[in-house]
Amino acid sequence: MAIFLKRSFSYRNFILLRNFANQTCNFSFSVNHFSHSWTSDTSPRFPLPPPDFIRETRRGFAKGRKSNESSTSMAEALPDIRPTIKANASSQMEASIVALSGELSKLRTGRASPGMLDHIIVETSGVKLPLNQIAAVSVLDSKTLSINPYDPSTLKNLETAIISSPLGVAPRVDGERLIAVIPPLTKEHIQAMCKLVTKCCEDSRQSIRRARQKAMDTVKKISSSYPKDDIKRLEKEVDELTKKFIKSAEELCKGKEKEITGG
């Protein structure tokens, strides 16, 4: 009712009344005339509002209500980007695990592993390439690797690159391939490798937490556009993803330490 009265006395309705008054009577009041009219026996007469006055007022009220309803429907029609936020966070955390796995594979252990040579850079014909793009590495036994170059002419370059690496491996030529025997790790080497594993694990945890923080920042920006319960549910799901991927990183590192120490 209050809204209806407010709209009835709005500037728009005042214009309607004024126009009607100009059409029905040509008012030219002076102060004396007004006093005379007021003191006369005849009661003063004022023009009635036009027949369409109430209709126009209600129409204006209906238009205002429609605009509010349309704005509400537009808010409800916002695209639901919550699944996208969760998917992006999961993708970034997964990338952290993949990067961690790649770093751990570069660390030398007491057992032969094809991935332990992947980080070695070989220069051939003036071009520097990772070893795994020049040769295929396979395991002959727990202590021996076989390096088979795709181009036999790069055999010497492969041998030089492996000897120059910090792995401490000295391969020998066997026809058109190299045979690399993995020497046992010293106590100092084991300690150094375990420290590297710990560092890699912490770097991965930080990367996963950064992905979580980025997702939470996005959730905060959209929190006013979605129900509070849905926002809390999304935050909980992002936290669960964070715990899941941190646990995966820690398990990878524990497995690598066990492989290095031979435990």
Would you list the DSSP string of 78-120?
Answer: S---HHHHHHHHHHHHHHHHHHHHHHHHTS--SS--GGGGTT-
Cα distance from N-terminal residue to C-terminal residue, the chain: 82
Cα separations in angstroms, 242 against 81, 197, 210, 212, 251: 19, 20, 10, 6, 14
pTM of the model as a whole: 0.59
| Alpha-carbon Rg for the chain in angstroms | 41
C-beta separation of 229 from 76 below 8 A:
no
Q: How far is 185 from 194, CA to CA, in rounded Å?
A: 12
pLDDT given for residue 13 in this prediction: 54
Q: Retrieve residue 255's tokens.
A: 């497995």
Residue 164: the pLDDT is 87
Crossing angle for the helix pair 11-24 and 53-76, to the nearest 10 degrees:
160
Four-residue CA torsion sign, 259, 261, 262, 263: negative
Q: Which two tokens stand for residue 36?
A: 């005379």
Helix axes 228-261, 187-222, angle to 10 degrees: 170
Name the residue among 193, 211, 198 with its Cα closest to residue 96: 211
Across the chain, the runs of DSSP E, i.e. the strands, are: 121-124, 127-130, 135-141, 144-149, 172-174, 177-181
What pLDDT was estimated at residue 248? Answer: 96
The torsion region of residue 138 among left (phi > 0), alpha (psi -120 to 50) and beta comes to beta
Q: How many Å apart are CA 131 and CA 122, to the nearest integer?
A: 6
Q: List the domains of the chain with CATH numbers.
A: 82-107+186-262 (1.10.132.20), 121-181 (3.30.1360.40)
**What does each of the 263 residues of the chain score in pLDDT, given as a tens digit?**
455 444 444 545 555 555 555 554 444 444 444 444 444 444 444 455 555 545 555 555 455 555 555 444 444 556 777 889 999 999 999 999 999 998 888 787 777 777 788 888 998 888 999 898 999 999 998 889 999 999 999 999 999 999 888 777 889 999 999 999 888 878 888 888 899 899 999 999 999 999 999 999 999 998 888 889 989 999 999 999 999 999 999 999 999 998 888 75
Q: Are 215 and 171 in contact (CB under 8 A)?
A: no
DSSP E strand stretches across 22-74:
none
Determine contact, residues 204/96, Cβ cutoff 8 Å: yes
